[in-house]
């Protein structure tokens, strides 16, 4: 079953008088439970694609569906709902709230989604898997980069999003920590069936995925 | 959960939180101190008026109810008052302003002492010589005077002969005849305090006197004391209005600045929340709650600081000012401050709510 269907997606930024064509007709179908790697040169449009998929910015034209729901016609409120309920983001910079503990960083994502029931057994297992179950009361600055990124992953999936979007999740990590995070993403994908899309520059990282596509000048090609 | 974030944010910048609260509190303190001084001084005046022990007072034509007045009444009225058969004691008072709100009062010592039940001297005793002055303990404390000290006023030196417990109309008293002489107002007095054989007849006696002295304001002491209220002082009410506006402005500016910088500082955090699916309302709610919390802490600081101003006044200028603690103004001052604070957070909060999630995530 296809969870993402993208057809002829275009995104044009206006910066000053010049039009920047970041996406020039992207076509992509991602199956539910797939782990997809997106590679490509800097500036080729990878992040832009993720931002549109995650509802952070609207597309210029084309159609895009997540879980059968069309994003093309969504207004700002609709995109807010999409971010809240259907996607989880992991960024290169871990982007945790610095004043909150690990537990509260995770809980605020649930609070935003309007959920208050205690964490279920599956999620507790995920925390064990991520190796942060013993560090819930620490603040982000008391964690290593790898640990912070694992917290960000936990936070991204706590609301069981349809897709997890990871934009260079290992960009700031050394090999050891990278491999740990990548292992975890794959494990998560295999164990819970979480659909994962990951941007990376690193061919070794891409090897953790089921399939790799390449972005070239705003167009996607199978690698 | 949001409260936790708000609390952690306040804790994260303790100096900012403390300074903002103190600045917000200053507005509250200004209001409470002003209202407290108004109430305190009126209460003190009422107490001192009560301390005279009179049943009614005859004042000069055209004098105001609350003001002290001047030497403008003919002393002959005294003979008329004394001739009334219910009157057991009538004593004249002379008031001479010595600049600003301070004044000096001339009395017939023995009559006044008899009517008021006698002075309680902390030190020294009654007026005897023409250059004697008696002062109350608060005045003595403020001016650091003792029995035998010289007090300079009305262009001459007076010897303090006694220091009495406050509560007898005035703080500084000299013989009436001396006051009249010095003010070139022989035969002139300011008002007459009257004691009756039966206080229950006060109203009847006033009615009778008014027949004979139609221009003279005559008040029962109980009535007069009721007049000591902020509502009868339009200047004070106007001034309170000014200070209230200042306090609103204070709360507004402080919160505007504090929250505006907070929003700038937290661009990234706001972006994270938005990426997590927080809508404008959620972000707005966080900043609003932080503001309300700041205003509450600020109000508590302000209330605490109003005890500080009371202590300062009571310690350094006890005779010039009295500050009461007016509990009914605690919620009023707090709500006024809160209103200013909410006005102040509006612009920063809207800026934050409108902020683009993407811009802030690429922000460094
Ligand atoms: N907000 C924007 N305004 C104008 N141009 C933009 C904006 N965002 C991205 N672009 C442009 O769109 C193009 C694609 O950018 P994008 O960030 O998607 O590349 P990327 O593949 O993620 O690159 P990198 O690997 O360096 O992260 C670039 O030319 C970039 O300059
Ligand atoms: Mg990118």
What digits encode the pLDDT tens for the residues A107-117? 999 999 999 88
Residue B262 and residue B349 in one domain: yes
Asked if the model's pLDDT at residue A47 lies above 80, the reply is yes
Residue B96 and residue B211 in one domain: yes
Closest alpha carbon within chain A to B13: A99
Residue with structure tokens 């942060």? A132
Residue B212 and residue B88 in one domain: yes
Per-residue pLDDT reduced to its tens digit, A136-153: 999 999 999 889 999 999
Residue B222 within a domain: no
**What integer best gives the mean pLDDT of chain B?**
89
Per-residue pLDDT reduced to its tens digit, B247-300: 888 788 888 888 888 888 888 889 899 999 999 999 999 999 999 999 999 999
Distance of CA B15 to the CA centre of its chain: 33
Distance (Å, whole) CA A112 – CA A89: 14
A16 and chain B in contact, CB less than 8 A = no
Q: How confident is the model at residue B364 (pLDDT cuts 50, 70, 90)?
A: very low
Residue B251 and residue B330 in one domain: yes
Q: Of all atoms in ligand 1, which is nearest to the CA of residue A44?
A: 21
Residue B196 and residue B259 in one domain: no
Q: Do A99 and B282 touch (CB under 8 A)?
A: no
Q: Do B4 and A83 touch (CB under 8 A)?
A: no
pTM of the model: 0.82
Asked if the model's pLDDT at residue B194 lies above 70, the reply is yes
Residue B224 within a domain: no
Distance (Å, whole) CA A134 – CA B104: 78
> What length is written for chain A?
223
Who lines ligand 1 at CB under 6 A? A 13, 15, 20, 22, 40, 42-48
In Å, what is the CA distance from B327 to each residue of B39, B41, B143, B306? 11, 16, 31, 11
Residue B208 and residue B250 in one domain: no
Per-residue pLDDT reduced to its tens digit, B307-327: 999 999 999 998 888 999 999
Q: Whose CA is nearest to atom 30 of ligand 1?
A: A43
> Residues 6 or more apart from A161 whose CB is under 8 A from it?
A85, A86, A87, A88
Among B191, B216, B241, the domain-final residue is B216
Domain tally, chain B: 2
Residue B299 and residue B273 in one domain: yes
Distance (Å, whole) CA A56 – CA B26: 43
Which domain, by its residues, includes B299?
2-43+233-361
Burial B350-361 (b: 16+ CB within 10 A, else e): ebbbebebbebb
pLDDT at B235: 82
Using alpha carbons, select from A7, A23, A20 the residue that is nearest to residue A219. Answer: A23
Residue B31 within a domain: yes
Asked if the model's pLDDT at residue B363 lies above 50, the reply is no
In Å, what is the CA distance from B349 to each residue of A76, B24, B280, B283, B335? 18, 18, 9, 8, 20
pLDDT at B62: 80
Among B186, B216, B246, the domain-final residue is B216
Q: Are A217 and A24 in contact (CB under 8 A)?
A: yes
Q: Average of pLDDT values for A159-167?
A: 93
Using alpha carbons, select from B121, B269, B279, B225 the residue that is nearest to residue A96. Answer: B269
Per-residue pLDDT reduced to its tens digit, A63-91: 999 988 898 888 989 999 999 999 999 98
Asked if the model's pLDDT at residue A206 lies above 70, the reply is yes
Residue B313 within a domain: yes
Distance (Å, whole) CA A66 – CA B277: 16
Among B216, B245, B266, the domain-final residue is B216
Task: Quote the DSSP letter at residue B199.
Answer: G
Distance (Å, whole) CA B141 – CA B128: 23
- Angle of CA points B357, B362, B364, to nearest 5°: 120
pLDDT at B119: 93
Q: Average of pLDDT values for B53-69?
A: 82
Element (H, E) at A6: strand A2-15
CA distance B297 to chain A (A): 20
Task: Write down the CATH number for the domain with range A34-59+74-218.
Answer: 3.40.50.300
Asked if the model's pLDDT at residue B66 lies above 80, the reply is no
CA distance B357 to chain A (A): 7
pLDDT at B15: 93
Residue B51 within a domain: no
Domain coordinates of chain A in residue numbers? 34-59+74-218
Q: Which residues of B touch A100 (CB under 8 A)?
A: 4-5, 8
A40 and chain B in contact, CB less than 8 A = no
pLDDT at B231: 78
Residue B205 and residue B261 in one domain: no
Distance (Å, whole) CA A100 – CA B12: 10
Measure B281 CA to ligand 1 centroid, in angstroms: 29
Element (H, E) at B259: helix B234-265
Please report which residue ranges of A28-174 form alpha helices under DSSP H: 46-53, 76-85, 102-112, 121-130, 145-157
Residue with structure tokens 């983001």? A89
Q: Judging by beta carbons within 10 Å of its beta carbon (0-12, 13-18, 19+), is residue A108 exposed, middle or buried?
A: buried
Distance (Å, whole) CA B154 – CA B71: 15
Residue B186 and residue B325 in one domain: no
């Amino acid at each position: 079953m296809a969870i993402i269907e993208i057809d002829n997606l275009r995104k044009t930024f206006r910066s000053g008088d010049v039009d920047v064509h970041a996406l020039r007709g992207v076509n992509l179908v991602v199956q539910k439970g797939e782990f997809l790697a997106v590679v490509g040169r800097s500036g080729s449009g990878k992040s832009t694609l993720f931002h549109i998929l995650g509802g952070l910015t609207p597309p210029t034209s084309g159609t895009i569906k997540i879980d059968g729901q069309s994003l093309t016609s969504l207004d700002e409120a609709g995109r807010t709902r999409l971010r809240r309920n259907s996607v989880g983001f992991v960024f290169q910079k871990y982007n945790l709230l610095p004043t909150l503990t690990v537990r509260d960083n995770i809980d605020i994502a649930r609070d935003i989604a309007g959920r208050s029931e205690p964490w279920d057994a599956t999620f507790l297992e995920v925390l064990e898997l991520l190796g942060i179950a013993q560090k819930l009361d620490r603040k982000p600055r008391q964690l290593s980069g790898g640990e912070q990124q694992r917290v960000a992953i936990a936070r991204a999936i706590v609301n069981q999003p349809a897709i997890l979007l990871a934009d260079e999740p290992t960009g700031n990590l050394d090999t050891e920590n990278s491999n740990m995070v990548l292992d975890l993403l794959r494990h998560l994908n295999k164990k819970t069936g979480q659909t994962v899309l990951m941007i990376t520059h690193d061919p070794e990282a891409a090897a953790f995925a089921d399939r790799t596509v390449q972005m070239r000048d705003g167009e996607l090609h199978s690698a | 959960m949001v409260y936790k974030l708000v609390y952690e944010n306040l804790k994260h910048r303790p100096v900012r939180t403390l300074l903002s609260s103190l600045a917000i509190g200053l507005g509250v303190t200004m209001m409470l101190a002003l209202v407290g001084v108004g109430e305190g001084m009126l209460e003190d005046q009422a107490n001192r008026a009560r301390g005279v022990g009179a049943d009614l007072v005859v004042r000069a034509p055209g004098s105001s109810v609350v003001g002290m007045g001047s030497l403008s009444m003919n002393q002959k009225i005294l003979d008329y008052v004394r001739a009334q058969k219910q009157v057991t004691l009538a004593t004249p008072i002379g008031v001479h302003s010595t600049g600003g709100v301070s004044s000096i009062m001339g009395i017939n010592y023995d009559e006044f002492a008899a009517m008021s039940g006698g002075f309680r001297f902390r030190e020294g005793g009654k007026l005897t010589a023409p250059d004697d002055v008696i002062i109350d303990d608060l005045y003595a404390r403020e001016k650091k005077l003792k029995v035998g000290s010289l007090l300079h006023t009305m262009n001459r030196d007076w010897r303090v002969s006694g220091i009495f417990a406050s509560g007898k109309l005035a703080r500084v008293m000299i013989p009436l005849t001396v006051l009249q002489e010095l003010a070139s107002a022989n035969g002139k007095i300011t008002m007459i305090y009257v004691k009756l054989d039966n206080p229950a007849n006060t109203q009847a006696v006033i009615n009778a006197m008014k027949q004979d002295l139609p221009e003279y304001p005559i008040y029962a002491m109980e009535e007069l004391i009721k007049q000591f209220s902020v509502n009868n002082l339009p200047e004070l009410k106007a001034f309170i209005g000014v200070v209230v506006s200042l306090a609103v402005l204070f709360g507004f500016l402080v919160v505007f600045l504090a929250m505006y910088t907070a929003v700038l500082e937290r661009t990234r955090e706001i972006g994270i929340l938005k990426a997590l699916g927080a809508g404008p309302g959620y972000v707005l709610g966080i900043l609003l709650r932080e503001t309300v919390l700041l205003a509450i802490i600020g109000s508590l600081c302000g209330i605490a600081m109003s005890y500080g101003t009371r202590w300062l006044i009571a310690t350094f200028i006890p005779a010039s000012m009295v500050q009461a603690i007016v509990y009914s103004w605690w919620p009023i001052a707090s709500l006024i401050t809160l209103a200013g604070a909410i006005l102040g957070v509006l612009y920063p909060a809207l800026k934050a709510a409108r902020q683009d999630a993407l811009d802030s995530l690429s922000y460094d």
